[in-house]
Amino acid sequence: MRRSIISYRFAVTVIAILFGTSAFGWILTELVPPDVPYQREIYRARWGDTWLWLVERLGLHDPFHTFWYRAVLALFFIVLVACLVSRWRSIVLRTFRSEPPDEARELSKRDHRLHLSWRELKWKSRDRRDVLDELEYRYGPEKRLAPGRMDVVFGVISSFLRGRGFRVSKTKEGGVIRFVAVAGRWRYFGNFLFHLGILVITVGGMVGSFWGETEILYGTDGDILPLGGTPYAILVDGFDVIMTDQMAVKEYISNVSIIDTVGNRLVTTTIEVNKPLRFDRYDILQSSYYVDEEAFRWARVRYSSGGNPVGTVVRLEPDEAFSLEGFPLVIRAKRFLPDFKIGPNGPYSETPNMHNPAIEVELEGEGGAQEGWLFLYYPRFNSRFDLPVQLSLVDVAPVYFTGLQISTNPGSMVLLAGIAAATIGLALLYIFNYRCLKGVMDAEGLILAGTGYRWKVSFREEFEKVSAGLVDALSDLGGGDA
Amino acid sequence: MVNTADIDLFWWSFWLYLASFILFTLFASLGKRRIGVVAVVSFAIALVLHTAGIAARWIISTHPPFSTMYEYALTMSWVIGVAFIVILARFRRMVLGVVISPVLIVVLVMASLLPKEIAKQLMPALQSYWFYIHVTLAAVAEGAFLVAAGGGILYLMRGGRRGEDDLVPPRDFIEEIISRSIRIGYPLFTIGALFAGAIWAQRAWGSFWSWDPKETGSLVVWLFYTLLLHQDIRGKWRGGALAVLSIIGFALIVISFLGNLFFGGFHAYI
Ligand code: HEM
């Protein structure tokens, strides 16, 4: 076998270095970047100038995008390429071809060996004649196996091994038969596919990180969002957040169309989390959403007099005045906050999410106007009005903005191909257990030696069984045609 | 919090596993076969209840129970339980219980500390079959790595005593259990934790890999076992070294499992 340009030991060292740097980066991941001014000062106070300089220089707040981590990745990549380039022939060939041993001495290095001398091989039958006696009886009075008879004996060995799942090949030269029997040889091909797959994944990942783009676009009903550098755009037809009874988010659904420059709808579909749309070279994903912190579409408010808990529900649009039936009052919804909080400057929305939706209403009657807040989830905090009417907020439709992530990843197909190759490779590695027996046989006897690729104990058992079986098979040789 | 049936089953199985651990230890120290048999029976009943607990949770929550850290730990420990029964059936060495049951109990103790509420509604990002493939395979793989760690502990406990004694299997036998568990875990981990995880992340977040702490954690675990396998082929890091390393692997898995509790990131929920 040709020597590889990169030693196995070096490759393992590189994997060890990658492991070490990744583990180091793993511990560091959550440092807040020092590029925020006050954070820098905190770090300076904690670590002093030198350490701060070191953290910034080495990018320890974001280790996986630093030059040193990239250098290790590059090294790993080069080693993997070098390994595959220099070894693929020998690895793949091993799947299809196995070399018989050059000489008997080669076998003495193997873990498991069986030595049989034709003269010593005992019969199982009572009279315990040895093989040579038997062969002499069958084929003539020679003391050693004659060349023609060797083939017969080898035929027995070979069919026995084939019966146990080994593939046997041999060479014969000058009265010596050298043979090799292998099982589970697809393992080598699996090994090759796996390493190739890892290489392809690395390439796909690099292509993606160099040339991939990603961007989040926000829009509400009717908005048109440009689709990256293409002549197409995304038209937001609608966006819904579907909640469960326990107010957990069940689904975010964007109804969108892809339109061309003149407004033709080319595709109309829904995009949900885990159901992205692929168009042109873009993946369009449901990424996030937010609620407009002031605007709303409508609110439904129930009003009733003291004695009547059912009351009537009205639907109010922003700033629209509505006369309450049976009361000399006009109601108007003035303001909406999705996450109501009281701050020094009065009410505000703490987040753009529907955590505590509230609307501000104004009631106008003969005695003047009164204002107050109604809460969707916490009605007990509703403002009290000095009027004979009771109000509660039944429902409110905020203005949602959908957050659509558009991303291109030119490496994604490459990466998926790599994953496929590596997965098949792993399956082969897992299913096939490579075992190899090599033997040299001449007129005096047989030496058989074996190595198990994976399991020492199981192979030892297997080798013992094979040896015993072989002795039996050879013993049967003399059986029938005497 | 309401105690659902699955949580009662969890506790029942927990106490039975604990009992079986104590019995296994007694068996190992006194060498009385009958105690070993009782330990195995107790372990088997615990495993049945454990399985029933997972099934009950599946039925109650109406989705496969692999979506919270608690459920993940439950699956991982279940794999260890099944692996033990398989190894026992194949090799008939009850003493392995002395090391496998405490590994299982450690995982269950972690589970017991985690919130166990059933979320009927999975957050949208988790509603994907890639997610189930990802989590199930990763849990099974980590279960197999933990079995290897159990073997590692046994190997070290066995010390330098030579030859076969009745109770503790010989070293090369334990070595093979460690080695086999790692070789079962490795492909499952690669395909489940890394490949299926990346494909799911691509569909849910638009990017195969984001260097989030849990992702990095599994990369570290994977590189660790990759290194181990490569050394193994060269015949290095075997014996005692392999035993120690399989235990270090266990530590890495525990850190990566609990990592998001202090690292944050995308995997905040699992
Ligand atoms: C991250 C990178 C790598 C991974 C994930 C990896 C993984 C593996 C795996 C799983 C095996 C099979 C173990 C078994 O037999 O069960 C293996 C074997 C092997 N790897 Fe790697 N490997 C990587 C890099 C390399 C590199 C850079 C080399 C270059 C020297 C290399 C050379 C080999 C060789 C020569 C074998 C043994 C083949 C045989 O005898 O069957 N590997 N590797």
A88-102, A258-272, A365-379: least confidently modelled range: A88-102
pLDDT, average across residues B83-103:
83
pLDDT tens-digit profile of A189-245?
Answer: 899 999 999 999 999 998 888 888 888 888 888 888 888 888 899 998 888 887 766
Q: Is residue A122 over pLDDT 70?
A: no
For residue A332, give both structure tokens: 């108007």
Pairwise pLDDT comparison (B49 vs A275), residue with the higher score: B49
Nearest CB to B124: which of A272, A283, A405? A272
Q: Calculate how far, in angstroms, residue A68's C-alpha sits from the geometric centre of ligand 1.
A: 24
A316 lines ligand 1 (CB under 6 A): no
Q: Please, which pLDDT band fits residue A123 given cuts at 50, 70 and 90?
A: very low
Mean pLDDT of chain A: 81
**In 3-state terms, what secondary structure has residue A433?**
coil
Intra-chain end-to-end CA distance of chain A, in Å: 47
Q: Is residue A434 over pLDDT 80?
A: yes
Q: What is the pLDDT of residue B269?
A: 41
pLDDT, average across residues A433-461:
79
Q: Residue B60 contacts by C-beta under 8 Å, 6 or more apart in sequence?
A: B4, B5, B6, B118
Q: What is the pLDDT of residue B24?
A: 87
- Nearest Cα neighbor of A448 from A185, A187, A188, A177 is A177
A178 lines ligand 1 (CB under 6 A): no
Q: Residue A112 contacts by C-beta under 8 Å, 6 or more apart in sequence?
A: A449, A450, A451, A452, A459, A460, A463
Are the Cβ atoms of A205 and B208 closer than 8 angstroms? yes
**Residues of B (134-173) whose Cβ lies below 8 Å from A:** 172-173
Are the Cβ atoms of B127 and A273 closer than 8 angstroms? yes
Q: What is the pLDDT of residue B97?
A: 84
Q: Is residue A410 over pLDDT 90?
A: no
Q: What is the pLDDT of residue B223?
A: 96
Residue A192: how many CB atoms within 10 A of its CB? 23
DSSP structure string for A304-367: EETT-SS-EEEEE-TT-EEEETTTTEEEEEEEEESBEEEETTEEEESSSSTTB-EEEEEEEETT
Q: Please, which pLDDT band fits residue A30 given cuts at 50, 70 and 90?
A: low
For residue A293, give both structure tokens: 């912190």
A150 lines ligand 1 (CB under 6 A): no
pLDDT, average across residues B190-206:
88
Nearest CB to A26: which of B131, B175, B217? B217
Euclidean distance between CA atoms A62 and A60, whole angstroms = 5
Q: Calculate how far, in angstroms, residue B230's C-alpha sits from the geometric centre of ligand 1.
A: 6
Q: What is the pLDDT of residue A128?
A: 45
Long-range contacts of B261-265 (CB under 8 A, 24+ apart): B262/A30, B263/A29, B263/A30, B263/B213, B263/B214, B264/A30, B264/B213, B265/A29, B265/B212, B265/B213, B265/B214
Q: Is the dihedral of CA A275, B214, B245, B230 positive or negative?
A: positive
Within 8 A of A16 by CB-CB distance, chain B residues are 227
The overall pTM is greater than 0.95: no
DSSP state at residue A234: E
Pairwise pLDDT comparison (B132 vs A100), residue with the higher score: B132
Q: What is the pLDDT of residue A71?
A: 93
pLDDT tens-digit profile of A349-369?
Answer: 888 778 889 999 998 888 788
Q: Residue A38 contacts by C-beta under 8 Å, 6 or more apart in sequence?
A: none
C-alpha pair distances (Å), A171 with each of A102, A103, A139, A176, A449: 10, 11, 24, 8, 17
Residue B191 in contact with partner chain A when CB distance is under 8 A: yes
A117-121, A338-342, A462-466: least confidently modelled range: A117-121
Are the Cβ atoms of A273 and B204 closer than 8 angstroms? yes
| A361 phi/psi in degrees, rounded to 5 | -115, 155
Q: Is residue B168 over pLDDT 80?
A: no
Within 8 A of B131 by CB-CB distance, chain A residues are 274
The pLDDT > 70 percentage for chain A reads 84
Q: What is the pLDDT of residue A98?
A: 73
A11 lines ligand 1 (CB under 6 A): yes
In the block, tokens 């060797």 appear at: A150
How buried is residue A406: exposed, middle or buried, by Cβ count under 10 Å (0-12/13-18/19+)? buried
Q: What is the pLDDT of residue A3?
A: 57
Q: Residue A191 contacts by C-beta under 8 Å, 6 or more apart in sequence?
A: A91, A425, A428, A429
Relative to the CA of A84, which ligand 1 atom is closest?
29
Mean pLDDT of chain B: 82
Are the Cβ atoms of B195 and A423 closer than 8 angstroms? yes
Are the Cβ atoms of B220 and A26 closer than 8 angstroms? yes
The pLDDT > 90 percentage for chain A reads 15
Task: Tell me the β-bridge partners of A190.
Answer: none
pLDDT tens-digit profile of A163-193?
Answer: 988 999 888 887 788 888 988 888 888 999 9
Q: Calculate how far, in angstroms, residue B233's C-alpha sits from the geometric centre of ligand 1.
A: 9
Q: What is the pLDDT of residue A425?
A: 95
- Nearest Cα neighbor of B127 from B28, B30, B203 is B203
Q: Please, which pLDDT band fits residue A138 given cuts at 50, 70 and 90?
A: low
pLDDT tens-digit profile of B48-65?
Answer: 999 998 888 888 877 777
Q: What is the pLDDT of residue A144?
A: 62
Relative to the CA of A83, which ligand 1 atom is closest?
29
Are the Cβ atoms of B124 and A429 closer than 8 angstroms? no
Nearest CB to A426: which of B130, B191, B262? B191
Q: Is residue B227 over pLDDT 90?
A: yes
Euclidean distance between CA atoms A440 and A100, whole angstroms = 9
Q: Is residue A305 over pLDDT 90?
A: no
**Residues of B (88-127) whose Cβ lies below 8 Å from A:** 119-121, 123-125, 127
A6 lines ligand 1 (CB under 6 A): yes
Euclidean distance between CA atoms A406 and A277, whole angstroms = 10
Q: What is the pLDDT of residue B148?
A: 92
Are the Cβ atoms of A426 and B226 closer than 8 angstroms? no
Pocket test for ligand 1, best of A12, A89, A191 (most atoms within 8 A of CB): A191
- Interface residue of A6, A18, A22, A460 to substitute, partner B, most B CBs within 10 Å: A22
- Nearest Cα neighbor of B41 from B65, B57, B23 is B23
Nearest CB to B176: which of A273, A412, A455? A455
| A363 phi/psi in degrees, rounded to 5 | -110, 125
Pairwise pLDDT comparison (B64 vs A117), residue with the higher score: B64
Q: Please, which pLDDT band fits residue A126 given cuts at 50, 70 and 90?
A: very low
Intra-chain end-to-end CA distance of chain B, in Å: 20
In terms of phi and psi (left: phi > 0; alpha: psi -120 to 50; beta: otherwise), the region of B210 is alpha
Pairwise pLDDT comparison (B218 vs B92), residue with the higher score: B218
Are residues A396 and A294 in contact, defined by beta-carbon separation less than 8 angstroms? Answer: no
Q: Is residue A479 over pLDDT 70?
A: no
A17 lines ligand 1 (CB under 6 A): no
The residue type of A198 is: I
